Structure 1
């Protein structure tokens, strides 16, 4: 059986799980130990020097990066296909994934820094929240245009483009930034959330949240017991949204981390 090193909150891991479930491929999900503190080790790091989820283990094959993983899944289990038929539509689905996994994810991640990890309070927090609301609205307007009169981002059927969008948009909804009622995007989100592959994956995240003790994570960050990863697009968003102070304080307190070396 496949093993997927994952975290239930990770939109990247959620994307992979949705792909596997759409294909009907069985897998075992595992949460790596010491991922949050920045001290992940063992088989997880030996197969994934970036030390971030997700990572797929298929016998001797070790693959990290969610995009590469879903490409592997599509190659190995081609039915039912997740990519559209034409080269142009395939490129479009991949562009949706790129935008969501970089620019859009960073906004939700930044709100997590505020809501759960309390990186900023007062005026600075409000400045960052206002920027997040503006940026989310802008990207959702772009998504509305990309969806057009389609039922699915992928075209006639749910697929690659949809599984790339839905984890991030569902996260926005939980953060109070759902698509506006009555829009095509809101209707699409309702359809996507009803799919068993999506519903089951997000139910796992809710179940984990109910038992994870999120109320004390801000204190863990303050004391250095939890280090959030500030990779490229997240760092860019925090700075352009007005949170350079957050980054500087995190570096000084050693409670943020960056991608480790591969040696």
Structure 2
């Protein structure tokens, strides 16, 4: 059986968790305490970069959430979470990378309690740009990959579902708002959705990491 090292408050880990649930793949979950478990010698032997998630499959070790999701899609192709059309596949990959490289850093910026008001305004303007771009990519389809859920929806959905917790209103982006609500109706998303308490734990973890990063840069 697959073994997943994860923590429910980790967005990257939730990507993989949701993928496993959407594909109905049995797995053994190993919950990591992010206050130190990832730094223990036994885990560093599994992942020397001390990050989650990590997937173990019959001796194969896969790190990095996007790589894990691709592995699961290749090994367990049904139900398919990647479209066959080159156009739709390009959209899926764009959404995944924009979420990872553009949106998630903005979410971290909103969580950072040392941000100046002018920077917060700029962050929200950047998120506005992303939401408008995603609106264009979504078009009139229910999901980014077309008629069916894709890996893009999982990656973007985990990130965008965090925005209301950070007082960013999605309602002006009607298609994105409806798309997000559509995701939250799915059983896998209902099972993995964070409570406000869990999201506060995530924010606390992010702030600790930001403080450590600033200390290292001094």
For the criterion TM > 0.5, the same-fold answer is: yes
> What are the within-5 Å matches in structure 2 for residues 54-73 of structure 1?
54-73=53-72
Shift of 1:176: 1.3
For the residues of structure 1 that align with 2:72 and 2:180, how far apart are their CA atoms?
A: 24
Corresponding position of 2:217: 251
Q: Corresponding residue for 1:30?
A: 30
RMSD: 2.7
Q: Secondary structure at the match of 1:130?
A: helix
Question: In terms of mean alpha carbon deviation, does 167-176 or 124-133 score higher?
Answer: 124-133
Shift of 1:125: 2.8
Aligned to 1:81, what secondary structure does the other structure show? Answer: coil
Task: Tell me how far 1:180 sits from its aligned partner.
Answer: 2.4
Query: Does the 8 Å contact 1:38/1:227 carry over to 2?
Result: no
Deviation at 1:108, TM superposition (A): 0.7
CA contact (8 A) 1:74 1:81 kept: yes
Question: Following superposition of structure 1 onto structure 2, how do residues 40-189 of structure 1 map, counting pairs within 5 Å?
Answer: 40-114=39-113, 120=114, 124-181=115-172, 183-189=174-180
Question: Is the 1:32–1:40 contact (alpha carbons within 8 Å) kept by the matching residues of 2?
Answer: no
Larger radius of gyration: 1
Match of 1:261 in 2: none
Shift of 1:227: 3.4
1:43 shift after superposition = 3.5
Number of residue equivalences: 217
Q: Secondary structure at the match of 2:32?
A: coil
**Residue 15 of structure 1: aligned partner:** 15
The unaligned stretches of length 5 or more in structure 2 are: none
- Normalized against structure 1, the TM-score is what? 0.73
SS in structure 2 at match of 1:29: strand
How far did 1:83 drift?
0.2
Give secondary structure in 1 for the equivalent of 2:131. helix
Partner of 1:198: 189
